[in-house]
Structure 1
Amino acid sequence: MPRLSLSSRLALLFAACTAVVSLIAGVLFSRASETHFIELDQQLLDGKLVALRSALQGADDPVLFAQRKARLQEEMSHQTDLSLRVRGADGHVWFDSTANLPDDLPTLTGLSSLHSAGTAYRVFNAPLEPGRTDGAQLTLALDITHHQHFLQRMQHLIWLTVGLSALATALLGAWAARSGLRPLRRMSDVAAGVCASSLTQRLPHTQMPAELAELAQAFNAMLGRLDDSFQRLSAFSADIAHELRTPLSNLLTHTQVTLTRPRDLEDYREALHSNLEELQWMAQLVNDMLYLAKADHGLLMPRREPLQLAQEADALLEFYAPLAEDAQVRLTRQGEATISGDRSMLRRALSNLLDNALRFTPPQGEVQVQIVDGAQGLHLSIANTGDGIPPALLPRLFDRFYRADPARREGSSEHAGLGLAITQSIIRAHGGTIRCESTQGWTRFVIELPKGD
């Protein structure tokens, strides 16, 4: 069975609600009308009972009753829809004002109803003399057939009103729902037309109802993220092509030149060593790309072991000490803390930051490693002196293949611009964050990590 559309569901819901409300209102009105008729009949019968008791006062035996019979017939002739039956104390019928009165009229004192031979009666029983139950009994039978016909017509009208109101509400509800859901159809059209060349489309959320404006804003934000991701992917593909083009061209050119004429064994050996360097750089680039791909898919699962950050930092500073000495750069470390993390991954992240800091620190400069064990987590910063980074470039430092230094050569076999991206992936895998600050002659990479267990 095909599923109902949202407009159809809303229309049916409106129709059902209207039908229920109309039906309840009709039933209440019908019950109120019936109760009102009963009250009117009771008032009429009470008034007639007073008149009959006055006419039959003292006629508590058949002889006396026969003397009052003419007056009683005159009294009953004034109202044709009202009949009277008088019973003696022994239960015998003394008088029937109408010949076709049912034999099975109720005898219980009070008001009751009876249906007989297609006629509806309101029957009222009372003693001839108030308070005396062993004397003659008066039974008044009021023909209320016209009341019943009115109530039946009213019930038919109620059902007709319920049906017509439900139908009208369904049609109006369908129109209102279709008009109100027009922004959703617009969103559907935009979503159906989304492709690589149309990610800049946006929904006019300011013209939408308040209930859909938030959804439209979320949809626009999703399109913005998709557009940004696609642009990054396109730029990423172009960067890979640029990075691999130069070493591949070098390999092809060097190999073709080597093969132009016969050469000595030493020349071939030198050519192979040169080609090997380019191939090693390309292999490292591919490995880095695979590493970032694993990070994008959440496949980096760091092992957890207690680490002394001061010891790890000192080991790396000792490794870079010769390079720092040649570059006339001073290395320092302050603070200590313990963290639960993956030693090899964290060493790789810190090594990338230290290598980056040493390359951009001028002679007589300084590289500082600071470790702060805070109440909310661990803070580790690696700062270096030198030319600052413009604020506009800071958000892009962690993009793949991005190089803040325009002097860097395209396709350099030394650095491909993936170190900071890998570092960010490692820090995120440990549940931390990393940011860059560059002010007052210092460039500082700040890492915030949770303490862990």
Structure 2
Amino acid sequence: MSRLSLGSRLALLFAACTAVVSLSAGVLFNHASETHFIELDQQLLDSKLPALRAVLGTASSQSDVDAHATALQRELSHQPDLALRISAADGSVWFDSLPALPATLPTPDSLQSLSSEGTDYRVYTVALNPDDNHSARLTLLLDITHHQHFLQRMQRLIWLTVGLSALATAVLGAWAARSGLRPLRQMSEIAASVSASSLTTRLPHNAMPVELAELTHAFNAMFGRLDDAFQRLSAFSADIAHELRTPLSNLLTQTQVTLTRPRAAEDYREALLGNLEELQGMAQMVNDMLYLAKAEHGLLNPMRESLNLEVEVDALLEFFAPLAEDRQVQLSREGSATLSGDRHMLRRAVSNLLDNALRFTPSGGHVATRIVDSVQGVQLSIENSGPTIPAEVLPRLFDRFFRADPARHEGSSEHAGLGLAITQSIIRAHGGQIRCESAQGLTRFVVELPMHGENQV
């Protein structure tokens, strides 16, 4: 059964249900017919008793019965399928219209069945005089062979009907199941045709029955996620190649130029220092990528310690103060809050946001940090003046290697486009969320953290 197809299982189930229903109906009909015949036979025998008792009168001996033998035969001739036996109280037979019957017959005062020499009888035994305990007994035997033949034919018809009904239902059920499961086969064919080059394929949602609509929606959503993940993976691979190509080209070019002719030791030293700078940038990029890989697999486990967020932010603002002074950018901080989290990870996240804000704030602008403490948690926002980021770009700011536009692309290994992605991973590891808002010359990154820094699963 476990190896049968779903269509075959449904067909067999339909056939079994039809067989059970047909058989039950047939058995009930057969029982009702048999009960009806019994009632008719009882009525017939009861209707004959008054006439027979009238003929016999008060007969109480063999001679009395013999005296009425001719009248009894005349009365019995009116019902050819009826036989009569009259017995004394001691069991001796006074009259028998059918001597071929067995010597011993059922004697209870109720309708009984008897089969003798291929003939079926309905046997009914009563007292000739109900008021006399020693009265002779009348045994009426009604030939019901034709009844039994009818019931037997009906039973054969029932079994034939059950078999044909089950067969017809199995065939029709198989057809109905195959037709009903056609959408599933279509889903299977479409799913089998999906490959890396056809991830945009979608199942026809409107053509599916209601029962499969949710499954179709789930399949389409899965294809959408796969397509998005594949596109991101392809873009990520291209971005890695692009980001590593520039420093590798610099290393190759500088090394080849250095080796073109003999040089002084100081020249080799300068060449090695240049190579070291490029290698450090590549190493930082690789470390950042490994950090993001750990974050995607849930391997970032923040330490739990109580932090005064304003103290941490002030320390970072002090660190960036010289750079802000050189660029003539004003730094400020408002509010305070306490939360539980990892000091180094949160410092790295806030540092990335401040560095990003300073890089894109024009001379004379400002970078404002605001901390809001509430029952729901802590909100940290870092706002800077500068060019407005287009709304269609905002959702992609936290993608790896993503730069909003060429104007924001500095092209150095120091800013490879991983900072915001790392920041988002750190915030999510603390159970928080981060978003970006940009309008009317102001860009604001908003970080929302829970009070106790639960990990996000």
Q: TM-score range by the shorter chain?
A: over 0.9
Which aligned pairs between 1:261-272 and structure 2 lie closer than 5 A? 261-272=261-272
Query: Structure 2 CA distance, aligned partners of 1:93 and 1:396?
Result: 113
Structure 2 counterpart SS, 1:84: strand
Higher deviation after alignment, 156-165 or 433-442:
433-442
- How far off is 1:55 after superposition? 2.4
Which aligned pairs between 1:71-90 and structure 2 lie closer than 5 A? 71-90=71-90
Query: Structure 2 CA distance, aligned partners of 1:370 and 1:130?
Result: 115
Q: Which amino acid aligns with 1:223?
A: F
Aligned position for 2:94? 94
- The TM-score normalised by the length of structure 2 is 0.93
- How far off is 1:67 after superposition? 2.4
Structure 1 counterpart SS, 2:198: coil
Unaligned runs of 5+ in 1: none
Aligned position for 2:355? 355
Q: Which amino acid aligns with 1:417?
A: G
Aligned position for 2:321? 321
Q: Which amino acid aligns with 1:309?
A: L
State the aligned residue count: 453
> 1:69/1:359 Cα in 2 relative to 1: closer, same or farther (>3 Å)?
same
Query: Structure 1 CA distance, aligned partners of 2:330 and 2:123?
Result: 117
Which aligned pairs between 1:43-442 and structure 2 lie closer than 5 A? 43-409=43-409, 411-442=411-442
Q: Note if contact 1:245-1:411 (Cα within 8 Å) is conserved in structure 2.
A: no
Query: Structure 1 CA distance, aligned partners of 2:328 and 2:129?
Result: 132
> 1:373/1:35 Cα in 2 relative to 1: closer, same or farther (>3 Å)?
farther
Which aligned pairs between 1:4-23 and structure 2 lie closer than 5 A? 4-23=4-23
Q: Which amino acid aligns with 2:39?
A: E
> 1:92/1:354 Cα in 2 relative to 1: closer, same or farther (>3 Å)?
same
Query: Structure 1 CA distance, aligned partners of 2:104 and 2:367?
Result: 116
Q: Which amino acid aligns with 1:208?
A: M
Q: Note if contact 2:291-2:422 (Cα within 8 Å) is conserved in structure 1.
A: yes
Structure 2 counterpart SS, 1:195: coil
Q: Note if contact 1:10-1:174 (Cα within 8 Å) is conserved in structure 2.
A: yes
Unaligned runs of 5+ in 2: none
> 1:155/1:377 Cα in 2 relative to 1: closer, same or farther (>3 Å)?
farther
Structure 2 counterpart SS, 1:165: helix
Query: Structure 2 CA distance, aligned partners of 1:338 and 1:445?
Result: 20
Query: Structure 1 CA distance, aligned partners of 2:447 and 2:261?
Result: 56
Query: Structure 2 CA distance, aligned partners of 1:333 and 1:41?
Result: 109
User: Alignment identity in percent?
Assistant: 74
After superposition, the C-alpha distances for 1:63-96 in whole angstroms (9 at most, x for unaligned) are: 4333222211211122222222222223322221
Q: Note if contact 2:83-2:97 (Cα within 8 Å) is conserved in structure 1.
A: yes
- How far off is 1:410 after superposition? 6.8
- How far off is 1:372 after superposition? 3.0
After superposition, the C-alpha distances for 1:166-214 in whole angstroms (9 at most, x for unaligned) are: 1111111111211221222222222222211111222212112121222
After superposition, the C-alpha distances for 1:269-299 in whole angstroms (9 at most, x for unaligned) are: 1111111111101111111111112222222
Query: Structure 2 CA distance, aligned partners of 1:124 and 1:79?
Result: 15
Higher deviation after alignment, 180-189 or 442-451:
442-451
Q: Note if contact 1:372-1:379 (Cα within 8 Å) is conserved in structure 2.
A: yes
Q: Note if contact 2:65-2:95 (Cα within 8 Å) is conserved in structure 1.
A: no
> 1:375/1:120 Cα in 2 relative to 1: closer, same or farther (>3 Å)?
farther
Q: Note if contact 1:243-1:410 (Cα within 8 Å) is conserved in structure 2.
A: no
- How far off is 1:38 after superposition? 1.2
> 1:380/1:102 Cα in 2 relative to 1: closer, same or farther (>3 Å)?
farther
Q: What is the CA RMSD across the aligned residues, in angstroms?
A: 2.1
Structure 1 counterpart SS, 2:111: strand
Query: Structure 2 CA distance, aligned partners of 1:229 and 1:433?
Result: 21
Query: Structure 2 CA distance, aligned partners of 1:99 and 1:374?
Result: 112
Query: Structure 1 CA distance, aligned partners of 2:95 and 2:336?
Result: 119
Query: Structure 1 CA distance, aligned partners of 2:188 and 2:436?
Result: 41
Higher deviation after alignment, 295-304 or 273-282:
295-304
- How far off is 1:409 after superposition? 4.3
Query: Structure 1 CA distance, aligned partners of 2:243 and 2:109?
Result: 110
After superposition, the C-alpha distances for 1:214-237 in whole angstroms (9 at most, x for unaligned) are: 222221221121111111111111
